[in-house]
Amino acid sequence: MSYFSRVMDQISKITSDAMCPVCRKKSKQSITKISREEVVVCPHCHARFIVHA
């Protein structure tokens, strides 16, 4: 595994709190998904939403 692969693997494991717009509960979401503005799923109510950074 190259150095670049290890760094990217570590970055992908970093999470941030995201608040669900439906149930207003916070959950940990990958910063990779947040920065790419991908759809995330609330683990509490299963709503799908996009976190705009």
Per-residue pLDDT of 6-50, as tens digits, reads 998 888 899 999 999 999 999 999 999 999 999 999 999 999 999
Residue from 28, 50, 32 nearest 40 by CA: 50
pLDDT at residue 17, as a whole number: 95
Phi (first) and psi of residue 13, to 5 degrees: -85, -10
The span from the CA of 36 to the CA of 16, in Å, is 14
Q: Is-contact 48 37, C-beta < 8 A? A: no
Asked whether residue 53 carries a pLDDT value surpassing 90, the answer given is no
Residue 29 structure tokens:
């979401």
Greatest Cα pair distance in the chain? 41
Taking the domains of the chain in order of start, what are their residue ranges? 3-50
